[in-house]
Amino acid sequence: MKQDNNSYLTSFKSVTNTILCALKIQSNFKYITPKFDLPNRKLKIGIGCGIPVTDKNSIFEEAIELTTRMCEIVKDQIVISNEIKSLYESENRNSFINKDHFRTLKPSEEKFLSILMDYVEKVWYDSKFNVDDLSKSLGYSKSQVYRKLMSLTGKSANNFIREFRLHRALTLLHEQKGNISEVAFATGFNSAAYFSKCFFNKYGILPSKYIQQHII
């Protein structure tokens, strides 16, 4: 099922089939992407599981939320939950998850990812939100947050916050939800000029040029 222009949601009855499908997609990705566009396109696959109905509003909402965050936040190409690893190995007694192809999140990493994103998604647009706020709200020291973020995302806390905002800004620009200044301030940047600089450094194109190329 297509979720939006950049992502798909798929359900499998078998964990083994899920893993094999992910590997097939990973293998074929380079062949279906034009060579000139390969550096600009990234494949991210998150695999999780859960019960259909919880205290959330939608079916499989908790599982979908976790796998979406795996795709958006974790640095590795294919990320699976610890429960998926256990289920796969129970279905395949003589086979184990290849660590070269998959990143398996430990339960402690899944917990950190959840509390991290629960908080960040509430405050990311506030220009006053910074690393000190993040560490205090999560209950970790700044050095602990740094180590955990580097392990999960490959980014420092400052870079993580900035790139999270840029990702949201990219979506707003693509959907034409405001001009450059409006999008900059809506996504936590104090200056349109600084926003444009960060945007260019991240995506290799100025936001003004990006808007021109995506006018419908």
- Cα–Cα nearest to 60, from 120, 1, 121: 1
Domains in the chain: boundaries: 1-105, 108-216
- pLDDT at residue 101 is higher than 60: yes
Question: DSSP letter at 47?
Answer: E
Per-residue pLDDT band for 96 (boundaries 50, 70, 90) equals confident
pLDDT tens across 128-183, in order? 999 999 999 999 999 999 999 999 999 999 999 999 999 999 999 998 999 999 99
pTM assigned to the model = 0.84
What CATH class is the domain 108-216? mainly alpha
Q: Which amino acid is at 105?
A: L
DSSP secondary structure string for all residues of 97-139? --TTT-EEPPHHHHHHHHHHHHHHHHHTT-TT--HHHHHHHHT
pLDDT tens across 189-208, in order? 999 999 999 999 999 999 99
Contact 214, 175 (CB under 8 A): no
Find residue 45's DSSP bridge partners: 78
Q: How many other CB atoms are there within 10 angstroms of residue 165's CB atom?
A: 23
Measured over the CA atoms of residue 81, residue 87, residue 88 and residue 93, the dihedral's sign is positive
The residue length of the chain stands at 216
For the chain, the maximum distance between any two Cα atoms, rounded to a whole number of angstroms, is: 57
